[in-house]
Each structure stands twice: as structure tokens, then as C-alpha cells.
Amino acid sequence: MATAPDDLLPAPVADTLVGLVPGLGPDGHPRADAPLVAVTGVTGYVGGRLVPELLAAGYRVRAIARHPDRLRGRPWYADVEVAAADAADPEQIRAALEGTQIAYYLIHSLGTGRSFESTDRHTALVFGQAAREAGVERMVYLGGLYPEGEDLSPHLASRTEVGEILLASGVPTTVLRAAVILGSGSASFEMMRYLTERLPAMTVPRWVENRIQPISIRDVLRYLVGSAAMPAQVSRGFDIGGPDVLTYRDMMQRYAAASGLHRRVIVGVPVLTPKLSSLWVSLVTPVPGGLARPLVESLVHEVVCDEHDIAEHVPDPPGGLIGFDRAVRLALQRVQDAAVTTRWSSASVPGAPSDPLPSDPDWAGGSLFVDERQVTVDASPAALWRVLEAVGGERGWYSWGLAWRVRGLADRLVGGPGLRRGRRDPLQLLVDDAVDFWRVEAIEEGSLLRLRAEMRVPGLAWLELRVEPTGTSDTRSVFSQRALFHPKGLLGQLYWWSVYPFHGIVFGGMQRNIARAAETAEQARTDRRVSASGGS
């Protein structure tokens, strides 16, 4: 089997921070007296990657989440403390921070709508006060790199304000300011990747000529881990960036070269406003409009580091910071190996429903429409489950493909995620994973997959897929499928009845084709077993 080049092999960032971090105990785990670190945003892109790096550095970790049960299945779940808290609730977050020495604030309301600035401001004020009252010794925040003396985009202005609030909290604080983060699954990387791969020729707005200092996610994680050990008297912001300063045009051309594509034809035009640019980005890439717009608005500014003072406290690694080309190769290798541990879509789409599934059709919350189907499949429960767990993404939805694509496009046109989010992993799912315009709400390994819709619909929708043994044969199983919809008002009622005539084609075809795929896989497995035994 071919292996990745040495510089792409994964290793904990703590390997280059020896002497700065506690280090592991003799048993390979953090020592009982190691500092206890609180991490918020653990279901997000950066937070989900930071937790294992902190553990590898020898810190004890307390993962804070509003819904801790959604962390089950993470490879590090058994190695951390888990606390349930809403960071905007003073009592909850103060209790969650008690006993911790360092607190990572990795929360932001990117793309949550017009009120995101007030939400960010309130949450930062609450968190800073709670950290001070709980006796936290240091906070670490990842914000955005911004140019001095310019009118900032709403997103960058809010990130800047949050940093200032935390610095004024009375708790020593490290604010790391980064521009574009390069890593498999990051929103910025995915936006650049899809624009470059899908458009051999394109017209682009003027901001593609602005200079940017991107940074590898690995270097971001290294700075985050190293910042926990800063002296108490240090409380300030630091610019962090990689070794290359490029325009966005340069980044796309170098991405094309690194991924083996022909040089792109890129023509700048002066008429594409940030709003029009974000609509264009949301149609071409998996990044929905609500997230694309603040990203594009931030690219309107030139974002280049003014200083590199962070090196006084977190020295550069022996081989230097990761350059653009190597960061792209590393990200592409991760994508190719299906080793993308977190993605930008790890966090829920702003405004998407989070209500729990009603317990039964007599739910007191109002009307609940149900489309329920069941079929016996000539395949083992394990074979059927493997097909179900791999649904969506590149494999699609096993039914009328055109209908799914049209529905996905319609969703993107009204600001929803559409189908282009795909999947984090082609074969395995975790609770809270995005699967196209669904999100995994519940998994019972081998028996239940429940998806909650994040598409824009006038109501709440779920798709439930269940596997059960027949009780009479190991090579037969029962496949149950339920589509549920709780309408909001008359519009919701009209929506359900307008799409109901297509359910037989879409959901009926989906069930039949999934059953057929499981039966084919089961037969192939039987044939291989017979062949291996010599046909006897």
C-alpha cells in the first residue's frame, strides 16, 4: 500500500511543544495533577480537532456542549469530562468552568442572521464574567485577522469585538487572529477547492487581488495548544499566519497546480458585490449563502500579519510553519483517505430546527404527518445497516436522482444547505454529522438512523431508517422507513400535500433500491464465501 509522504503523516502538535506542555504520564494518559482545560465549541470544526491535541499534550479536558449526548461516538469521548452548558447562560457556564485552569472560547455566530453581532456580544460578556468568577487562570480565543484603520465587515467587526470583551474580562487572555485556515473540511478551504475544481474559467470580483496570509489548521492547533502555557502577565492579541502571503487568485492557481489541474482562466470584473459574490459561491460550492456571505465579506479586506510576537511564547516548529502548497497537499491527502475528522458543517446550519422528534403521532405539539413503509429484505441486518449508514453524499439517495437534485438546488436558492455538503466520512456516521441537507439526530448502531432536515421548509421534518431481524433467519431483515413532518401554519400544510403525491416515487423507490443494494451485497458476500471454501 502506498503511504503518504513523511511530511503528511499525522502526529500530535505537542511533539514540537516539548517543555511547553505538561506531557503524558507513564501510562500514556494525562497525569491526575495536569491542568484541567475547558473547551467550548467541541462540536465545531476547530474545537473537535483541538480536544485530541490537548489530550496528547498532557492536559485533562472538560468538553462543554449544550447537548453532550451528541458527543458520543467521538474517538476521544471516553477520555474527557463532559459538561452540559449553554455558554450564554451565566449559571450553566459558571458551573461548567468551575475547577478549570484554562478555558478555550471557540464560539461564534457566523452566518446566524442579522442578530449575530448582539448574540456574540452577549455570549462573550457572559463567558468572560463566568470565567472570572470560576477562577479560570487563562482564556484562549481564536478570532479573525483584520486590517487596522478600516471599516470592517460585520463578521470581522464582531470577531474583533469578542476578543476585546474577553481581554477586558479581568482574566488573562490570549486572542489569536487568523485569516484563511487551510485544512480538510474548513469552510475557507472547501470554498477555494470547489471554485477551483469546478470552474476551469471564471469571472471573479476584485477581492481576488487582495493579499491574504493563510495558515494551516495544524499550525492553528499548535498555537492554540501552546497558548495554554503563556505567563499570567501576558494578556493580548497575536497575529498568526503561515509563511506565504498570496492573493486569492494566487491561492486558486496554486491549488490547481497542487491537485494536478490545468491553470485556471480567471478574469476579474468590478461589478460583483459581496452579496452577489456570496450567491455565486453558494451555487458553485457546498458552502451555503448564510455562511458564504460573511466569508466573502471578510475577503474584501487585505489580511496580512503585522507582527509575529507569538513566537516569543510559542516558538516556531523546527521545520518552520507549514506553507500553502504543503497545507493543500495535506488537506487533499486527508480527503482522499477519508480521514476528515471535522468539517465546517459539523456545526448546525443557522436557523435549522433542533426540536426533538415527537414521541408518537398523537404528539401534543400539533399535527404530525407520517409516511411509513416497511419491507422484508433478503439480506442480513448487518448488510442492510452498512447500506443505510452510507446513504447520501456521493452515493446519493437510491431513488429519483433528478428530484433530489432539483430539491437541493431549490433549497440553496433560498439560503439552505442543499445537497452539496455531502458527508464527512463515506461509510460511517456520528451524531450531529451533516448528510447533504439532513443532520444525524440519532444513531443506534446496527438498528436506527434518524435524520433531521435542515433544508428550508415550513415546518420540521425527519427521516427515520430502522433495521430489525426477522427472528426466523439470519439472512433476512425488516427495513422500516418513516418520513415525519410537523407543519407550521397553513403554508406547512400546503407544503406536505403538494409533495405527498411524489412520496411513492421518492421514498418508495428509495426503500426498494436500498433493499436491492443490501441483497446484492449479501449475495456477493455469499459468493465470496463459497469461492473461498472451494465451492463445497
Q: Specify the amino acid at residue 59.
A: Y
Here the cell at position 510 is 428509495
Q: Which carries the bigger pLDDT value, residue 219 or residue 288?
A: 219
pLDDT tens digits, one per residue of 69-112: 888 888 899 999 999 999 999 999 999 999 999 999 998 766 55
The predicted structure's pLDDT at residue 357: 52
pLDDT tens digits, one per residue of 25-56: 999 999 999 999 999 999 888 999 999 999 99
* Cα distance between residue 387 and residue 521, in whole Å: 9
The CATH number of 13-339 is 3.40.50.720
CB within 8 Å of 138: residues ≥ 6 apart:
101, 102, 103, 171, 172, 173, 174, 227, 228, 230, 232
Work out the end-to-end distance of the chain between its first and last CA atoms, rounded to an integer number of angstroms: 33
pLDDT tens digits, one per residue of 105-125: 998 766 555 677 888 899 999
**CA 144 to the chain's CA centroid:** 18
Q: Any idea of the CA torsion for 16, 17, 18, 20, to the nearest 10 degrees? A: 170
Does residue 52 contact residue 71 with C-beta atoms inside 8 Å?
no
Give the pLDDT band (50/70/90) at residue 331: confident
The rounded mean pLDDT for the chain is 85
pLDDT tens digits, one per residue of 213-227: 999 999 999 999 999
Helix (H, G, I), strand (E, B) or coil at 431: coil
Give the pLDDT band (50/70/90) at residue 361: very low
The predicted structure's pLDDT at residue 114: 62
Domain ranges of the chain: 13-339, 369-531
Q: Which CATH class is domain 369-531?
A: alpha beta
Q: Specify the amino acid at residue 342.
A: T
Helix pair 289-299, 187-198: axis angle to 10 deg = 90
* Cα distance between residue 103 and residue 328, in whole Å: 30
The predicted structure's pLDDT at residue 343: 57
Here the cell at position 211 is 493579499
Is residue 2 predicted with pLDDT exceeding 50?
Answer: no
Does residue 257 contact residue 249 with C-beta atoms inside 8 Å?
no
Does residue 87 contact residue 40 with C-beta atoms inside 8 Å?
yes
Give the H/E segment covering residue 370: strand 369-377
Give the pLDDT band (50/70/90) at residue 349: very low
pLDDT tens digits, one per residue of 378-430: 999 999 999 999 999 888 899 888 888 888 888 877 777 777 788 888 888 88
Residue 104: Cβ within 10 Å count: 29
- For the chain, the 3-state helix, strand and coil shares in percent, each to the nearest 5, are 40, 20, 40
Q: Which carries the bigger pLDDT value, residue 233 or residue 271?
A: 233
Q: Which carries the bigger pLDDT value, residue 300 or residue 256?
A: 256
Is residue 136 predicted with pLDDT exceeding 80?
Answer: yes
Give the pLDDT band (50/70/90) at residue 1: very low
* Cα distance between residue 524 and residue 536, in whole Å: 17
Does residue 267 contact residue 202 with C-beta atoms inside 8 Å?
yes
Report the percentage of the chain scoring pLDDT > 70: 89
